[in-house]
Structure 1
Amino acid sequence: MRNPYAATNKSYRQQTKALAHQLRTQPAQPPTDSLPTTPYWVGTVNFNLRKPNYVIIHHTAQTSTEQTLKTFTLVKTQVSAHYVIGRDGQVFHMLNDYLRAWHGGVARWGGITDINSVSIGIELDNDGTEPFQEAQLTSLLKVLASLKHTYNIPAANFIGHGDIAPVRKSDPSALFPWPRLAARGYGLWYDAAVLTDTTAAPFAADSCGQPLPGLTPREALRIIGYDTQDLEAAIRAFKRHFAPVDTGPALSEQDRRILYNIYRKAL
């Protein structure tokens, strides 16, 4: 069967060849008008490729895998991801993990503002209103296991697009099974005891009973990684991930206990 993406695959090979040429090029000497020149170039022997340290999970907000593959192979869209996983579990590995996909957009996590440069983007074929299919989740877990093992990615660094861009994005939707992933070491999750422990005093004391003056939900969200410039958006994003029954901008007492628990795990 003829590959319908033969033309874009050729473009991929041409672009990677051009990048490889850039890597082989000897670094330029400092500009002579601003820095002292050196008598010769010295290349270090201690280096390798930069590796990804985050995984960002998306839903495609489209109607089929084929639609998404087309979107990611049109220059005019200016979007891409490393992996696309279909509802049937098929995995399309569209970009070498060491290369920079354009999936995060304007986003922030902690002090990182260029998410694309440090992350792997995974798109799940899902329109954002439907449950995720079992075959799809099975394949996702296999991909995540490989990425975690290959790049030694910390559990806390498996997050959603809505987490890094709370004002703009909601993927992978409130229907995504984050607890299932966290149980396997892909993402943080709260301890079940916080749901019933009404004696907990979040944002009041640490584990040794010492006061934590000034610690607020905003500060806890910021420490976890959320951009809190728009606090309501950050709260919605947090609740969509950790308490998806109600994703409004208000924190219930239970939400606060969950937030405090995740904050402690993120320290």
Structure 2
Amino acid sequence: MKQACYLYLGILVLALATACSPKGPYAITNKYYTHQTDSFARVIKSEAPPLLVDSTGAQIPSNWVGTVNFGIRKPNYVIIHYTAEDSLKQTIHTFTVKHTQVSAHYVVGKTGQVVHMVNDYLRANQAGIGKWGSITDMNSCSIGIEIDNNGHEPYPPAQINSLLALLAKLKKDYSIPTANFIGHQDWAPKRKPDPGPLFPWKLMAAHGFSYWSDDLLEAAPDNYDYITALRLIGYDTSKPKDAIVAFKRHFVQKDITPTMTQFDLNVLYNLSKKY
């Protein structure tokens, strides 16, 4: 019993020491991040020519000549998620343990706090398997933003205001096109529902982050090929019902059933002219 008490006290002291460390509670994960970025920097600095052989096994002559015309690859998409967890702290924990294998560039808390977790030029494990247009590796060309929300609650004004400020900065910094602000649900309609029908996409569109349909809708033509229209916007239509639900979560929101009503068709027809 006494040993158990000592053990408990030892763990408590260690936890308090870590929490009160001048380097903060995430000193270990920050150190790991620095180690990883240093490793990536060494890879980028490599100037070794490729070792190539032809079909006979003979070595192909190759050498390295550094060009003067190059730059860093920039992100061209923003993917918006909700965390499906109970707090900002819980999400940060999820993103700072190895076994989860998931991360995001930014996390936006309910009070408006913004936590930056991966450099914008690096690849975060956030989009996963999916398809948007011809893109099949979204992690390599996008910034992932997680919003602290369990998926069943409204997004607080302070949180949305911070998100709008962050999106404005990203759009300006990287010249991200209006159409390239999408939800996780848009990218992976077979797997993901986030950021869900409660997310204020209409407000986002009013600030230039994604599109929204006009208030006055022109009726879609008879026999409108909505599957092709969904595909041209970017949706993976290999499972049409999933694509329809994802489209309606984003652009309709009042009804997310897997069928297209006349109103839905009119919205899609209007939107398709913007993309």
Deviation at 1:218, TM superposition (A): 0.5
Select which of 140, 152, 177 maps to 2:175: 152
Structure 2 distance, partners of 1:232, 1:241, is: 14
Structure 1 residue 182 corresponds to structure 2 residue 205 = yes
Gaps of 5+ in 2: 1-19
The residue number in structure 2 matching 1:166 is: 189
Helix, strand or coil for the counterpart of 1:159? strand
Deviation at 1:56, TM superposition (A): 0.3
Structure 2 distance, partners of 1:26, 1:203, is: 57
Structure 1 residue 12 corresponds to structure 2 residue 33 = yes
Q: Aligned letter for 2:50?
A: Q
Deviation at 1:215, TM superposition (A): 5.9
| CA deviation map 1:182-214 (0-9, x unaligned) | 0010001111101xx5xx2x245xxxxxxxxx9
Select which of 237, 241, 245 maps to 2:246: 237
Deviation at 1:72, TM superposition (A): 0.3
The residue number in structure 2 matching 1:24 is: 45
Deviation at 1:33, TM superposition (A): 4.0
Structure 1 distance, partners of 2:141, 2:242, is: 24
Select which of 140, 143, 150 maps to 1:127: 150
Task: Check whether the contact 1:29–1:37 (CA below 8 A) recurs between aligned residues.
Answer: no
The residue number in structure 1 matching 2:271 is: 262
Deviation at 1:32, TM superposition (A): 3.0
Tell me the matched-pair count: 252
Deviation at 1:238, TM superposition (A): 0.3
What percentage of residue pairs aligned between the two structures are identical?
Answer: 52
The residue number in structure 1 matching 2:256 is: 247
Task: Check whether the contact 1:203–1:217 (CA below 8 A) recurs between aligned residues.
Answer: no
Task: Check whether the contact 2:54–2:60 (CA below 8 A) recurs between aligned residues.
Answer: no
Select which of 101, 123, 128 maps to 2:124: 101
Structure 2 distance, partners of 1:108, 1:122, is: 18
Deviation at 1:29, TM superposition (A): 2.5
Deviation at 1:44, TM superposition (A): 1.4
The residue number in structure 2 matching 1:207 is: none
Instruction: Give the structure-2-normalised TM-score.
Output: 0.88
Task: Check whether the contact 2:104–2:126 (CA below 8 A) recurs between aligned residues.
Answer: yes
| CA deviation map 1:42-87 (0-9, x unaligned) | 2211111110000000000000000000000011000000000000
Structure 2 distance, partners of 1:217, 1:27, is: 51
| RMSD after superposition | 1.5
Helix, strand or coil for the counterpart of 1:193? coil
Structure 1 distance, partners of 2:254, 2:97, is: 37
Structure 2 distance, partners of 1:150, 1:191, is: 28
The residue number in structure 2 matching 1:114 is: 137
Helix, strand or coil for the counterpart of 1:179? helix
Helix, strand or coil for the counterpart of 1:170? coil
Structure 1 distance, partners of 2:62, 2:254, is: 66
